[in-house]
């Protein structure tokens, strides 16, 4: 029994194919139903996100399982197996273990270090567990994947560098104000970048998030999510009086905030610092506002530089993370190997114990003249002899390396000592 993984992701397949396969896997029903339809597979877990569709599984024959999945997917997607194979990757044994650990730690993500994937894997595991589709091997493997991801986030700085424009904007604001707790923020625009910025701001405990947008309904929708207020674009100049941070990301063709407007409100603000981040293309804010005292403006080019530096920093941190993945994969392999050799070790111990007791019984007449203390000594000596005889074979089995080597050495030990895994002599 070993571990396999089959799937496709943003590196190997277009989004249309990923969407089709994700829908097919979801429509197939609970994982346990899929297992019933695939006798080659014993345990399984679906991982489906916008960037990947993967199935992690255990099977007596990985090749038979891979073939079964390919056949099922080809039928569901109405595509030839040869066409589908060009987008699919497969991992076997230790490769599958390492791949899962890398995915959980966000080393295989579109944005290295992003935290969402770990939550998505945990949710997939909850669903599989609920369906009783996972067993002793995948249960242990998934918990090891979670602890590996946690260790990487604790011991490396892989998640400590902003690598999205919205996140970089919030991190830049933190550098200017030291902390964002208690600050008032105005978001101009209610698109995806504004939404991501709002989430980061909320996590930094800002006092208030105000959203201004050309469509007031959309502004209200976003503001409600973060317990804020919604404004029309016409109300922005007045809102600037009470605002500490402005993040603008509209699709407007012209400048929305002029230098003259900012200069006019600074007296009412009593010269309190005002921080603008313009991540719109074309720009929303007059570049000349930077010339106003106590006003600071950063545009998307400034943030792109921050993101590029941080991407490089994350890649450096990823090298250390890869070492941790390798260490944890080795530990899991040792546990998995132990799981396979245990029945043989138990059978060996049982057979040796049967031989020991049989010989003592055969010599019972000769032992009748011994005192209870002497009989006890014979018992202890015979047990010690058995333990010393089986010590080297057990050590040999426990030191097995890769899955093929484990299977070969287990088979060799069973033949050498005439064993089977039921603990009976052959």
In a domain, 328, yes or no: no
Residue reference for tokens 């060799």? 412
**Cβ-defined contacts of 300-303 (< 8 Å, 24+):** 300/165, 302/172, 303/165, 303/168, 303/169, 303/172, 303/277, 303/279
Please indicate, yes or no, whether residues 106 and 205 belong to a single structural domain of this protein.
Answer: no
CA 357 to chain CA centroid, nearest Å: 52
Of the candidates 11, 15, 29, 50, the residue annotated as catalytic is 50
- Decide: 73 and 21 in contact? Cβ < 8 Å: yes
d(CA 106, CA 350): 46
- Give the mean pLDDT per block of 10 residues along the chain (426 residues): 90 86 75 69 86 90 92 90 93 95 87 78 91 90 95 82 67 80 91 80 88 92 90 93 91 90 92 89 90 90 71 76 93 80 81 89 87 90 90 77 69 80 48
Residue reference for tokens 């990757």? 89
In a domain, 323, yes or no: no
Please give the model's pTM, rounded to 2 decimal places. 0.60
In a domain, 398, yes or no: yes
CATH at 226: 3.40.50.720
- Decide: 180 and 205 in contact? Cβ < 8 Å: yes
What is the model's pLDDT at position 426? 47
Q: Which two tokens stand for residue 282?
A: 């074309």
50 annotated active-site: yes
Please indicate, yes or no, whether residues 233 and 190 belong to a single structural domain of this protein.
Answer: yes
120 to each of 127, 166, 178, 316, how far by Cα in Å? 11, 22, 32, 25
- Decide: 30 and 60 in contact? Cβ < 8 Å: no
Q: Which two tokens stand for residue 83?
A: 């066409």
Task: Estimate the share of the chain in helix, then strand, then coil, as percent rounded to the nearest 5.
Answer: 60, 15, 30
Q: What's the number of domains the chain is made of?
A: 3
Structural domain of residue 357, as residue ranges? Answer: 333-416
Please indicate, yes or no, whether residues 170 and 140 belong to a single structural domain of this protein.
Answer: no
């Amino acid at each position: 029994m070993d571990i396999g993984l089959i799937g496709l992701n943003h590196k190997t397949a277009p989004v249309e194919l990923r969407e089709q396969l994700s829908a097919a896997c979801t429509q197939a029903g609970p994982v346990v139903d899929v297992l019933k339809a695939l006798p080659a597979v014993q345990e399984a877990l679906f991982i489906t996100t916008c960037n990947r569709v993967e199935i992690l599984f255990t099977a007596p024959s990985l090749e038979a399982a891979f073939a079964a999945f390919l056949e099922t997917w080809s039928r569901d997607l109405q595509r030839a197996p040869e066409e589908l194979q060009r987008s699919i990757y497969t991992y076997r044994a230790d490769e599958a273990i390492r791949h899962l650990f890398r995915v959980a730690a966000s080393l295989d993500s579109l944005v290295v270090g992003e935290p969402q994937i770990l939550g998505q894997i945990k949710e997939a595991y909850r669903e599989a567990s609920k369906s009783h589709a996972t067993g002793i091997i995948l249960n242990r493997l998934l918990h090891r994947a979670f602890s590996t991801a946690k260790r990487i986030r604790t011991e490396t700085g892989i998640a400590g560098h902003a690598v999205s424009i919205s996140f970089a904007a919030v991190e830049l604001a933190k550098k200017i104000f030291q902390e964002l707790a208690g600050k008032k923020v105005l978001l101009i625009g209610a698109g995806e970048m504004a939404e991501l910025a709002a989430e980061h701001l909320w996590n930094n405990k800002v006092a208030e998030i105000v959203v201004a947008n050309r469509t007031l309904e959309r502004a209200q929708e976003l503001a409600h999510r973060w317990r804020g207020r919604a404004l029309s674009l016409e109300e922005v100049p007045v809102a600037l009086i009470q605002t500490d941070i402005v993040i603008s990301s509209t699709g407007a063709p012209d400048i929305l905030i002029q230098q003259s407007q900012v200069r006019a409100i600074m007296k009412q603000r009593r010269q309190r610092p005002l921080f603008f981040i313009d991540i719109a293309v074309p720009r929303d804010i007059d570049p000349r506002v930077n010339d106003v005292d106590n006003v600071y403006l950063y545009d998307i080019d400034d943030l792109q530089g921050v993101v590029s530096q941080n991407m490089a920093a994350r890649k450096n941190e990823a090298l250390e993370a890869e070492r941790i993945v390798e260490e944890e994969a080795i530990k899991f392999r040792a546990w998995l190997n132990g799981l396979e050799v245990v029945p043989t070790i138990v059978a060996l111990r049982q057979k040796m114990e049967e031989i020991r007791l049989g010989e003592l019984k055969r010599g019972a007449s000769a032992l009748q003249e011994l005192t209870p203390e002497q009989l006890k000594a014979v018992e202890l000596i015979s047990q010690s002899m058995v333990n010393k005889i089986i010590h080297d074979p057990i050590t040999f089995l426990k030191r097995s390396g890769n899955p093929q080597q484990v299977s070969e050495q287990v088979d060799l030990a069973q033949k050498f000592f005439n064993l089977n895994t039921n603990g009976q002599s052959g």
